[in-house]
Homo-oligomer: A and B are copies of this chain.
């Protein structure tokens, strides 16, 4: 950065905003919080909050996530958190200058956060993306950016396992892709592709699970050590209007 001029130092507030996604009942859900105060009192918003003087934005994001989901600390410390981008338009908050660093997080399906959450968890709800009404501030734009980023990352990373419980079937993993992308995938080809990628998933020896009650029991897998997906698993129809950020 340039040299310092203390007079140029304008007072900015720095916050984090979190788009926490999960796959539940065949639909992509995002964690929303009902605001208690103006502006936008009563409206839904992404969880988030101030960055404290001695923490980084990522630390702030994990702290807020733990407070608002009620997840235990070690789980929050380990889960995948991805910095999206920073939103800094001067009037994005009507009261003061707020610069917000947005993150996306992927979690497996879990109970409603209301149960055990300490902080603001009682005002938090999982909402199907698309059924979310107008959001406070510029959170609708942040949510849209997060959604398209997650969709793009499924193509060339092993991130999809972050949506699954510790042990999962290939049908569940495929459901993640189909839900996020909104397209159907060919089951045999998906299976081959996933198993052909070293380190994407590891078989759980001897285990099997009945999935939907009906059908043949499916083998169980764990997430493997790989993070990248070479070659990528491309969406059936190219994104077209979706710029990959």
Min CB gap A137→B, angstroms:
7
Judge if A211 is at the interface, Cβ distance under 8 Å: no
A15 neighbours in B (Cβ, 8 Å): 1-2
Interface string of A1-31 (1 = CB under 8 A from B): 1111100111111111100000000000000
Q: Which of A53-61, A168-176, A184-192, A198-206 contacts B (4 or more CB under 8 A)?
A: A53-61
Q: Please name all residues of chain B whose beta carbon is closer than 8 Å to the beta carbon of A49 when the two chains form the complex.
A: 1-2
Q: Provide the A24-53 mask, 1 if CB < 8 A to any CB of B, else 0.
A: 000000000101110000000111111111
CA distance A11 to B85 in the complex (A): 21
Closest B residue to A53 by beta carbon equals B10
A100 at the interface (CB under 8 A from B): yes
A40 (CB) vs chain B CBs: closest residue: B3
Q: Name A45's closest neighbour in chain B (CB-CB).
A: B1
Within 8 Å by CB of A85, from B83, B90, B95, B137, lies B83
CB distance from A150 to the nearest CB of B (A): 14
Extra 19 A-B pairs, beta carbons < 8 Å, given A14-B88, A85-B86, A157-B244 = A1-B46, A1-B48, A1-B50, A1-B98, A2-B120, A8-B52, A9-B13, A10-B50, A12-B51, A14-B99, A53-B90, A54-B90, A55-B90, A56-B90, A83-B86, A88-B101, A228-B238, A230-B238, A232-B232
> A interface vs B, CB < 8 Å?
1-5, 8-17, 33, 35-37, 45-58, 64, 83, 85-86, 88-90, 95, 97-101, 120, 137, 156-157, 227-228, 230-232, 234, 238-239, 243-244
9 A-B contacts (beta carbon < 8 Å): A1-B15, A1-B49, A2-B15, A10-B50, A53-B97, A55-B90, A86-B101, A99-B99, A228-B238
Q: List 8 tightest A-B contacts by C-beta distance, closest first.
A: A2-B49, A57-B88, A1-B48, A1-B15, A10-B53, A230-B238, A86-B86, A3-B37
